[in-house]
Amino acid sequence: MASVHDVAAYILECQGGMTTMKLQKLIYYSQAWSLVWDGEPLFDETIEAWMNGPVVRDIYNAHAGQFRVSNWTQGDSSQLSDAQKTTIDSVLKFYGQKDAHWLSELTHQELPWKEAREGLGSTERGAKPISLETMHWYYSSL
């Protein structure tokens, strides 16, 4: 299975540089739609429900202190199958031109993030995992 770093590398190859927040949200939506369209996750790493939306800690740790990134040397996009790339391409076609704030606000309106943030205030830190099962169920219903 590909890693979240491989997904990040592919997104940046396709989209070019972006904010780290936007990268995190595009990774999240790539995982969500892979669960629906391909019936399996793109990567094994956990997605956590942080204050500003879904975050993969491994990605955060690799870009900590940076506002923008333009490439991802920790990943290898050739590890992704053609089907996985097609899924990510579809996600980028729909979400790729949106800004980071818009994507963050969208995740805040959706059940997977809201469920994982239950009991936390809007400005409270939290890192509860977002359930893949909830992601699959929610995005399948759209």
Per-residue pLDDT reduced to its tens digit, 39-80: 999 999 999 999 999 999 999 999 999 999 999 999 999 999
pTM for the whole structure: 0.97
Name the residue range of residue 134's domain.
4-140
Please give the pLDDT value at position 1.
Answer: 85
Q: How many domains does the chain have?
A: 1
Average pLDDT over residues 12-22: 98
* Sign, Cα dihedral of 138, 28, 33, 97: positive
HEC states along 116-131? Answer: HCCCCCCCCCCCCECC
Helices (H) and strands (E) in the chain, counts: 7, 4
CA 27 from chain center: how many Å? 3
Asked if residues 61 and 32 have their Cβ atoms less than 8 Å apart, the reply is no
The end-to-end CA distance of the chain, in Å, is 27
**pLDDT exceeds 90 at position 28:** yes
